[in-house]
Amino acid sequence: MKELRDYREEIERCVRCGTCRSVCPTLDTVRRESHCARGRLALIEAYLNGEELGERYMKYIKECTLCGACYSSCPNEINTPEIVLSARAEYVKKNGLPPLTTFTLKSLLEPAPLTKLALRVVTKLKGLLFKSTSFENGLVSRFSLPVVGEGRLVPEPADPFFLDRAHIRAISDRKDYGKLKVGFFVGCGINYLLPSIGESTVRVLEQAGINVVVPQEQVCCGIPALSMGDTRTAKRVMSKNLEVFEQYGFERIVTSCATCGHTLKSIFRVVLGNEPGMKERVEEFTRKIRDITEFLVDELDYSGQKGEKKGVVTYHDPCHLRRFQGISEQPRRLLEESPYEFRGMKNPCRCCGLGGGVSLTNYELSMKIAERKAENIKRCGADVVATACPGCIVQLKDALYHHNVRAKVVHVVELL
Ligand code: SF4
Ligand code: SF4
């Protein structure tokens, strides 16, 4: 991964035009220059010119959702999200991570029995730690819990986890591939919290003639660690996934998580591409990655069952799908094939506020960003909100719960 100083030339391309100010969800919420790409780049430049990298400076760097809206609108193509990731990595290299973050990353991102144990304890103690709500069958934290905070609506942990289910274990090395040899990269959101997305992905692919393989040894994609500035852990889990998926010789690797998809397609290059002997392996791997909506529409020409419509569905564009992968038409095409009538919402590609770890580092800011999204969903009047990222689903459910908007939130693939 490039060092922060290697971005100096790119940072100096900022002509302070302010175009990024009109699209940044954090500036729109906080209304301070420090909370847009121009302000963040100015702070990083000051640091490169010798100013101290203190906690106050880091607050602004940590409160970037990495949504990429600035990058897509910048006339000089400055990749602020990548520069922000590098600034976070530089800070962690110098100052280390808080012990709780180190513990959480270690236990969640690597195939540690601790993750399972921690989530099982949460399941057992859920009556004590959380209130149940009929809203989306979620749990609401009663007091300020580590990682979760207070008052947040979270999905009940999967029981068993997706990768531990007997029928998923049974297809971890199947030989009857069907049309194409395709692997499924699951990701933590689906594995630990929203296994129904994984079940739907396997079902829809099988209906389309693909007997997908789900490698058991896969681990987290690495982006949570990288977002926290922990490059070492990110590198380790990314290398592990590369090794696991290489062994199978897949023709395609499909994911139903927009964030995992962006990480596997692009961030792998940033983190591992310049490591000795890795360039070609990484290129070969990233070339095979497909988002499920992209794969179904572009390569399998998927068509659903036409029939009577049950209600209205709208669509939220995950930043990591629309901006970073250029995928926006495919999920909408699939929704036209679903048993719902499609109705667009205002500003569907505005960030939901979850990204960049902001929902963990500043939950209040993250929820304020999500408020506008909840209003747009309410105005649209849809019964169902579909999206293509488990992280966005968790965030949207929480935002709709807090604003009493009774729309169900699902992944596109669950409606097929
Ligand atoms: S749009 Fe680009 S060049 Fe203009 S102020 Fe923002 S980062 Fe700088
Ligand atoms: S990535 Fe998003 S939140 Fe971060 S500076 Fe750019 S527009 Fe703002």
Question: What's the pLDDT score for residue 131?
Answer: 74
> Under a CB-based contact definition with an 8 Å cutoff, are residues 360 and 292 in contact?
no
Rounded CA separation 81/351 (Å): 13
Q: Could you say which ligand is closest to the alpha carbon of residue 320?
A: 2
Centre of ligand 2 to C-alpha 80, Å, is 7
Q: What is the mean pLDDT of residues 343-361?
A: 94
pLDDT > 60? residue 329:
yes
Question: Which backbone phi and psi does 200 adopt, to 5 degrees?
Answer: -65, -35
Q: What is the mean pLDDT of residues 4-12?
A: 97
Q: What is the mean pLDDT of residues 138-148?
A: 70
Task: Give residues with Cβ within 8 angstroms of 400, minimum separation 6.
Answer: 135, 374, 377, 385, 406, 407, 409
Which residues lie across from 312 on neighbouring strands? Answer: 341
Q: Residue 265 corresponds to which amino acid?
A: K
Burial 158-185 (b: 16+ CB within 10 A, else e): beebbbebeebeebeeeeebeebbbbbb
Q: What is the mean pLDDT of residues 284-303?
A: 96
With a 6 Å cutoff on the Cβ, whether 65 touches ligand 2 is yes
pLDDT tens per residue, range 259-284: 999 999 999 999 999 999 999 999 99
Residue 11 CB neighbours (<10 A):
18
Q: What is the mean pLDDT of residues 347-371?
A: 93
Task: Give residues with Cβ within 8 angstroms of 163, minimum separation 6.
Answer: 169, 186, 191, 214, 216, 218
Q: For each of the domains in the chain, give its residue range(s) and CATH number, in order of start.
A: 4-95 (1.10.1060.10), 99-154 (no CATH), 162-299 (1.20.1050), 312-415 (3.40.50)
Strand stretches in 98-172, DSSP E: 130-132, 139-141, 153-154
Q: pLDDT grade, residue 321 (50/70/90)?
A: very high
Centre of ligand 2 to C-alpha 260, Å, is 19
Judging by beta carbons within 10 Å of its beta carbon (0-12, 13-18, 19+), is residue 70 exposed, middle or buried? buried
Residue 56 CB neighbours (<10 A):
10
> Under a CB-based contact definition with an 8 Å cutoff, are residues 4 and 86 in contact?
yes
With a 6 Å cutoff on the Cβ, whether 34 touches ligand 2 is no
pLDDT > 90? residue 312:
yes
Which residues lie across from 409 on neighbouring strands? Answer: 385
pLDDT > 70? residue 103:
no
Q: Which amino acid residue places its CA nearest to atom 4 of ligand 1? A: 17
Rounded CA separation 361/272 (Å): 26
> Under a CB-based contact definition with an 8 Å cutoff, are residues 153 and 401 in contact?
yes
Angle at 387 between CA 69 and CA 322, to 5 degrees: 30
> Under a CB-based contact definition with an 8 Å cutoff, are residues 414 and 293 in contact?
no
Angle at 105 between CA 169 and CA 111, to 5 degrees: 25
Query: Pocket of ligand 2, candidates 70, 323, 349: which has the most ligand atoms within 8 Å of its Cβ, to mutate?
Result: 70
pLDDT > 70? residue 299:
yes
Question: What's the pLDDT score for residue 147?
Answer: 66
pLDDT tens per residue, range 29-81: 999 999 999 999 999 999 999 998 678 888 999 999 999 999 999 999 999 99
Here the tokens at position 171 are: 């297809």
Q: pLDDT grade, residue 391 (50/70/90)?
A: very high
Entry pTM = 0.93
pLDDT tens per residue, range 184-237: 999 999 999 999 999 999 999 999 999 999 999 999 999 999 998 999 989 999
With a 6 Å cutoff on the Cβ, whether 109 touches ligand 2 is no
Here the tokens at position 340 are: 């719902």
pLDDT > 60? residue 111:
no
Q: What is the mean pLDDT of residues 285-299?
A: 98
> Under a CB-based contact definition with an 8 Å cutoff, are residues 356 and 61 in contact?
no
Q: pLDDT grade, residue 305 (50/70/90)?
A: confident
With a 6 Å cutoff on the Cβ, whether 84 touches ligand 1 is no
> Which of 6-15, 63-72, 124-133, 151-160 has the least mean pLDDT?
124-133
Centre of ligand 1 to C-alpha 222, Å, is 28
